[in-house]
Structure 1
Amino acid sequence: MITRRALVGGSLSAAAATLLPEAAHGSGRRDEAATRYGRVRGRREDGIVKFLGVPYATPPLGRLRFRAPKPPKCWRGVRDTVDFPNPAFQAAGGEMGPTGNGRMPAPSEDCLYLNIWTPAADHERRPVMFYNHGGGYMIGSGSATGQDGTHLAQLHDVVVVESNHRLGLLGYLFLGDLAHGDYAANTGMLDILAALRWTSENIENFGGDPDNIMVWGESGGGAKTGAVYTMPAAARLFHKASIESAAPLRLATREGATARAERTLGLLGLTTADIPKLYDIPAARLLEVQQSEAANGEAPWGDPGALPGFGAFVDGRVIPRQPFADGAAPFSAHKPLMVGTCRDETVFFSLFGPPDIFNIDEAGLRSALGGTYQGAELDRIISTFHRSRPDATPAQLYFAITTSPIRRDAIKIAEAKAAQHAAPVFMYQLAYPDPTLVPGTNFPIGSPHASDIPLKFANVGPDERPGKRATARHMSALWAGFARYGRPTAPHVPQWPAYTPKKRATMWLDAQCRIVNDPDRPERLFWSS
């Protein structure tokens, strides 16, 4: 469950990513493409064509709230798709709505649209990179600046697709075991499935290859990607995947989702007999209830509690099994996989509070960890990390220790995939040591959670440090290479071996990339014991 973690994925891009120059809406030459439902017109600029706000489903309004998405209605003529669409309903962020920077309109229930960035709307059959945005199932958009697909499409001749899909209560309130009727499970994931199906059926007209689709995502988007990897209905729609800064070994259970629904009804002053009244409650009121408890979102890693937040869950049909806790899904066995983390994940979560944690001493380290570890266990974990990182300060040890469970579970995913002996899995760590200091401290930010977003999308401007630009060049090329070939390959980067339990080869992503076998071995052994 998350509180401030609901900011996951995209928040850092607003704070630290280089903003892309945005051409005036409506400028540039218009290019057209056909879909199964009608023709659309995008705008050509920055050397590519952008189709923004393409409908992939009927707006989930009125009696379609809490139901599986329906195909879009056909239209006559040509539909302009030249502006970013409404984000899913959520608290408006810095890029959303009339008080934002103008990039996106206000959040809305009418959100089932996708964006396409393509070198040309021809029939060249380029690799398709279908990205799931982050935000812990609670916030985010397929239009955020840091994950803009312009440079990725431009530099690497790929097609980038990003969808908006229902989030939070509107995406994951499960009523199916509380009332009769057509109440779907995992509607937010069904939206992603619908967008993926639309992509498979239509992307050839946008210059993409429907037989070469990569699904990928960071944080909450990585958890969504892990869920897609575990959805039988998605199996024929994609061909490889990348789970980034998330380790969804286990999702919430159907019983947990039902318990959350019962709790939600109580907060609304309703009983199960009043469920039909949910159609008439304004979305703003539902958002108030969603945010009224500290535990209102599903973390993209760890074990969900008995009363989970809103997020993907094992319902028995849409998602029939746990993603990786009991091995990888057999119907995805032949799909290559990438998995990895940032070196300093949890630095991100302390950027929004007092800077005290960045200045702790040894006693402060023990105090900061004391809520999670006690007694001999606390002594052992501190001792292990001291031996593994002898030059680390207490603050650096704190972030290494709190980051390590995320990496531990990423390793478990890689082990589960390697055990299938079918398709390769590739492990990485983003280790670029960004020297930018956390405000009010002498602590360098390093590679925190979400710092990978502008790097892998090549959205790093010419004024950034040379090391950061080089890391972005390597990372974006490797991810595009994986999309193209099913193995991550790029110029001026060492050959990336598949991960195996014997060597545990890991790509160390930096200005100078290198392969490290079994990095931080004492830490891995601590968790395995």
Structure 2
Amino acid sequence: MTAPRITRRTLVASAATLAAAPAPLLARPSPGSAAAPVVGRYTGLAEQGVLAFKGIRYGHAARFAQAVAEPWAGPPVKAQASAPICPQRGLDSERQAEDCLFLNLWTPEANPAAKRAVMVYFHGGAYTTGSVTDPLTHGARLAGSGNVVVVSVNHRLNALGYAWLKPFGATYADSGNLGQLDLILALQWVRDHIARFGGDPARVMVFGQSGGGAKIATLMAMPAARGLFHSAATMSGQQVQASGPMHAWARTQALMAAVKLAPGDVEGLRNLPIERLVDGLAATDPVMGSGPLYFGPVLDMTNLPRHPFWPDAAPQSVSVPMILGNTHEETRAFLDPRGPRLKGLDWSNLAERVGREVKIDLDPQWMIDQYRARQPDWTAEQIYYAATTAGRSWPGQVIEADARARAGAEATWVYQLERPSPVDPLRGAAHTDDIPYVFGTLDAPGSFSGTDDKARALSKTMMAAFTGLAKTGRPGSGDRAADWRPYTVPTRATMVFGEETRMEDDPRGWQRKLWATAPYVQPGT
């Protein structure tokens, strides 16, 4: 199928439609109203002009076992607060419990006849940490302004979701991908029940940032996920290859050693107090040579029978319309310009410091020489962030987009967030900074977008792009947008979301070619 051309007229029209979304067919309780919304056995609440249902259980699971679905029928549930998140290192202020298979939902109206497009969000955190309780990813504004149903999902992480235990026997055959199977179970819940909340099960889009995008890339190679979503968007998140079973097994053994269990004591691991298991995650990773332990999807040849985007795009993914995005200076978010990694940075130590952070095995000094020859006016700090972004995770997104283009996936669009933070002048356009623009959570804690007119205009544009993909299988966009052309090779058309939105062919193309001199290594695999 040929992807439809998205013209400036249709882009602007889609944003106008977004701004003037029609009133719902059914009355909605206003905030503070005594009438709480009820769907089935779930009682929600009114929130920011939409209906919210929080902490809906979609499954139950014993440790290291595949989850089973939660029945629709049952006792009444007050679905008005988020449920516990998966145990992890960090987020200590959040309630954590192994019983963590819950989702949250926002809808303009709980009318089965409404059939609104559905947007299901998976959080970041590299399979190890994170949660959809982050205020940046609350879905009320996206649901209301975008006229869609928004769902966000928590699931099992780290060793609880991805430890490879199959060598202990067939009982643990699914262990390396339990977190992914949780997401599939949540999508099955959406398929079976979202119509009751006003959603259309035939128009389900998955989207996720960082690790959430990687989870989506992995789902695109999992047979059990086929047909559960109809479009996808990844935001600075990619998974070219999964972890091999031998590397995964080495990590399981390292965890068992860290918690002082014998190498064969799987029962001890299954019954270990959760606090000790989480403490063990801090052990040195035997593959990467540093801590903490990485746990992620495993090439188990059953649930995940191939790598997601190696040697090519998984065939089942090619027909799924997809947006792939990144930010201009990803690493400014976690390589703090005010922190120790940048202290004392100069030309004499730049190559050594860049070499610590990149995932492509090239001579760091040679790379720095190429940057200085190409950009003689750049400072050491500018080269540090350009090189650590281009040599770390961004190549994975390029590989995925190129693989889709070569496979004939014409419904592929790529963006780059370029607008620098007006809140922190040292941040630039960094990892996670596209989240508040898409969700409309510009004023939420953790947002670096600001709330000025330009921030609101860009949010309107990006929200229209994402909701357009959910509704029609192609991105809409907003004011001052150029035509968003599908991504092909060799042109590599990219929508640049900045102070002014524009199309650009192969932005940072010279850096892309430079880092393609050697093979990309998927972090953690």
Normalising to structure 2: TM-score of the pair? 0.85
Q: 1:453 aligns with which of 435, 444, 453?
A: 435
Q: 1:348 aligns with which of 306, 324, 333?
A: 333
Cross-structure match for 1:319: 304
Per-residue deviation, 1:358: 6.6
- 1:375, 1:255 → 2: CA distance? 22
Please show how residues 134-149 of structure 1 align to structure 2 within 5 Å. Answer: 134-149=124-139
- 2:434, 2:72 → 1: CA distance? 38
Moved more, 324-333 or 269-278: 269-278
Per-residue deviation, 1:218: 0.8
Cross-structure match for 1:178: 168
Letter paired with 1:501: V
- 2:289, 2:217 → 1: CA distance? 15
Cross-structure match for 2:54: 52
Q: What secondary structure does 2:202 align onto?
A: strand
- 1:43, 1:304 → 2: CA distance? 48
Report if the CA contact (8 A) 2:421-2:450 is conserved.
no
Report if the CA contact (8 A) 1:295-1:309 is conserved.
yes
Report if the CA contact (8 A) 1:436-1:444 is conserved.
no
Letter paired with 2:433: S
Per-residue deviation, 1:235: 0.9
Cross-structure match for 2:523: none
Cα distance change on mapping 1:127 and 1:73 into 2, 3 Å: closer
Cα distance change on mapping 1:402 and 1:422 into 2, 3 Å: closer
Cross-structure match for 2:111: 122
Q: 1:68 aligns with which of 61, 66, 69?
A: 66
- Number of matched residues? 477
Q: What secondary structure does 2:364 align onto?
A: helix
Q: What secondary structure does 1:426 align onto?
A: strand
> Can you give the 5+ residue segments of structure 2 that lack an aligned partner in the other structure?
1-30, 444-448, 518-525
Per-residue deviation, 1:113: 0.6
Per-residue deviation, 1:355: 5.2
Cross-structure match for 1:384: 370
Q: Say yes or no: does 1:190 pair with 2:181.
A: yes
- 2:476, 2:343 → 1: CA distance? 37
Q: 1:402 aligns with which of 388, 401, 421?
A: 388
Per-residue deviation, 1:388: 4.5
Report if the CA contact (8 A) 2:59-2:185 is conserved.
yes
Letter paired with 2:457: A
Per-residue deviation, 1:177: 1.5
Please show how residues 24-423 of structure 1 align to structure 2 within 5 Å. Answer: 29-34=35-40, 39-58=41-60, 60=61, 64-73=62-71, 75-93=73-91, 96-97=93-94, 106-123=95-112, 124-185=114-175, 186-271=177-262, 273-291=264-282, 293-295=283-285, 309-351=294-336, 354=339, 357=342, 360-371=345-356, 377-405=363-391, 406-423=393-410
- 1:375, 1:339 → 2: CA distance? 25
- 2:476, 2:72 → 1: CA distance? 41
Per-residue deviation, 1:370: 4.6
Letter paired with 1:40: Y
Q: 1:426 aligns with which of 410, 413, 419?
A: 413
Q: Say yes or no: does 1:470 pair with 2:472.
A: no
Letter paired with 2:213: G
Deviations 1:232-291 (A, max 9, x none): 110110111112212311111122212222222222333354212333211111101112
Cα distance change on mapping 1:304 and 1:33 into 2, 3 Å: farther
Q: What secondary structure does 1:141 align onto?
A: coil
Letter paired with 1:53: G
Cα distance change on mapping 1:267 and 1:380 into 2, 3 Å: closer
- 1:249, 1:460 → 2: CA distance? 31
Deviations 1:468-510 (A, max 9, x none): 3322222122111111121111232222100111321101012
Report if the CA contact (8 A) 1:132-1:163 is conserved.
yes
Q: 2:468 aligns with which of 448, 467, 481?
A: 481
Cα distance change on mapping 1:481 and 1:308 into 2, 3 Å: same
- 1:260, 1:480 → 2: CA distance? 39
- 1:528, 1:290 → 2: CA distance? 33
Moved more, 472-481 or 364-373: 364-373
Provide the alpha-carbon RMSD of the alignment.
2.7
> Can you give the 5+ residue segments of structure 1 that lack an aligned partner in the other structure?
1-24, 98-105, 438-442
Deviations 1:75-132 (A, max 9, x none): 53432111111111123526x34xxxxxxxx111111010001111112111111111
Per-residue deviation, 1:308: 6.8
Report if the CA contact (8 A) 2:232-2:321 is conserved.
yes
How much identity, in percent, do the aligned residues show? 32
Cα distance change on mapping 1:259 and 1:503 into 2, 3 Å: same
Q: What secondary structure does 1:468 align onto?
A: helix
- 2:301, 2:164 → 1: CA distance? 13
Report if the CA contact (8 A) 2:174-2:303 is conserved.
no
- 1:311, 1:353 → 2: CA distance? 31
Cross-structure match for 1:102: none
Letter paired with 1:497: R
Per-residue deviation, 1:349: 1.2
Letter paired with 2:269: L
Moved more, 395-404 or 452-461: 452-461
Q: What secondary structure does 1:429 align onto?
A: strand
Per-residue deviation, 1:336: 1.0
